[in-house]
Amino acid sequence: MSERLPPPRTLGPDSELPLQYPLSALESDEAWYVVVQGRAEDWLARFEKGPGFDAREWATAMAHTFNTRLLAQIEAPD
């Protein structure tokens, strides 16, 4: 994965491309990214690695929180 990715596309409930896929955390040499699972070019957040900041924890927690809510939305009856 290259160190500098292009900015993410606008996603979410009000966008033309609502985010309906799980997220995952992806590591590079300098940062952790939150990406659309299986599509590293579709990153949503970048957490720079540095002393005193657990970038991995932030990225994995963000992906986990979103995936938990996505699953609840899928499983919830209409």
Query: Greater confidence, 70 or 19?
Result: 70
Domain with 9 in it: 1-78
34 and 48 Cβ atoms separated by less than 8 Å: no
pLDDT at 51: 96
Q: What is the CA radius of gyration of the chain?
A: 13
Distances (CA, A) of 31 to 3, 46, 65, 75, 76: 8, 7, 19, 33, 35
pLDDT at 1: 52
The pTM (predicted TM-score) of the whole model is: 0.72
Query: Greater confidence, 8 or 39?
Result: 39
Q: Does the structure show a pLDDT above 60 at 10?
A: no
> Could you give the percent of the chain with pLDDT greater than 90?
51
Quote the number of domains for the chain: 1
CA atoms within 13 Å, Cβ hemisphere of 19: 21
The separation between the first and the last C-alpha atoms of the chain, rounded to the nearest angstrom, is: 39
